[in-house]
Amino acid sequence: MKKLFAEFFGTFWLVFGGCGSAIFAAGFPELGIGFLGVALAFGLTVLTMAFAVGHISGGHFNPAVSIGLWAGGKFEAKDLLGYIIAQVIGAVAAAGVLYLIVSGKADFNGVGGFAANGYDNLSPGGFSMMSALVAEVVLTAFFLIVILGSTNVRAPKGFAPIAIGLALTLIHLISIPITNTSVNPARSLSQAIFAEGAYMSQVWLFWVAPIVGAVIGGIIHKSFFEKE
pLDDT tens digits for range 103-146: 999 989 999 999 999 999 999 999 999 999 999 999 999 999 99
At residue 30, the pLDDT reads: 84
Q: What's the CATH code of the domain at 65?
A: 1.20.1080.10
* DSSP per residue, 199-226: HHHHTTHHHHHHHHHHHHHHHHIIIIIS
* DSSP per residue, 102-119: HTTSTT----TTTT----
pLDDT tens digits for range 46-89: 999 999 999 999 999 999 999 999 999 999 999 999 999 999 99
Q: Three-class SS of residue 195?
A: coil
Contact present, 175 and 127 (Cβ < 8 Å):
no
Average pLDDT over residues 10-18: 98
pLDDT at 95 over 80: yes
At residue 228, the pLDDT reads: 54
Q: How far apart are alpha carbons 201 and 35 in whole angstroms?
A: 25
Owning domain of residue 73: 2-225
Q: For 156, which DSSP code? A: P
At residue 210, the pLDDT reads: 98
Q: How far apart are alpha carbons 190 and 197 in whole angstroms?
A: 14
Report residue 226's pLDDT band, with 50, 70 and 90 as the boundaries. Answer: confident
Number of domains in the chain: 1
Q: How far apart are alpha carbons 225 and 100 in whole angstroms?
A: 45
Report residue 28's pLDDT band, with 50, 70 and 90 as the boundaries. Answer: confident
Single out the residue of 31, 179, 41, 33 nearest to residue 117, CA to CA: 179
Of 220 and 30, the one with more pLDDT: 220
Average pLDDT over the chain reads 96
| The CA-based dihedral angle spanning residues 157, 43, 215, 178, taken in that order and rounded to the nearest 10 degrees | -150
pLDDT tens digits for range 148-196: 999 999 899 999 999 999 999 999 999 999 999 999 999 999 999 999 9
